[in-house]
Amino acid sequence: MTVSRLQGSFNVVSGLWPLLHMRSFEAATGPKTDEWLVRTVSGLLIAIGMAQILSRDNPQNLVPAKLLGIGTAATLAAIDLVYVAKGRINKIYLLDAAVELSWIRHWLGKP
């Protein structure tokens, strides 16, 4: 399975979790003030993940999947790191930052 499909699957699952069971998501990540924003990010993660999963193993289709993969991972990691440091989100998000940074490393061929 390619990095695109692996990260895509991770993004879909990550996006589905709060949509299917907000209570367990908040139990793991802390309470959320704006559930509409959580749902918005969830929908975007699902859409990005599906685009990655549906990419084919050829350079023409993997370029957009790679851009989505690195861009999504960099954005999520940056948000995780900045807002954990500010005390706005739970420290569990440092685990997500580590996962997101690992996706970038895999896309750059440095697992």
C-alpha closest to that of 38 among 18, 13, 65: 18
What pLDDT does residue 14 have?
98
First-last CA distance in the chain: 15
Smallest CA-to-CA distance from 76 within 34, 35, 47, 45 is with: 45
pTM over 0.95: no
Alpha carbons 96 and 53: distance in angstroms, whole number: 20
- 56 burial level (CB within 10 Å; 0-12, 13-18, 19+): exposed
- Please list the pLDDT of the chain residue by residue as tens digits (111 residues): 689 999 999 999 999 999 999 999 999 999 999 999 999 999 999 999 999 999 876 778 888 999 999 999 999 999 999 999 999 999 999 999 999 999 999 999 986
* 3-class SS of residue 109: coil
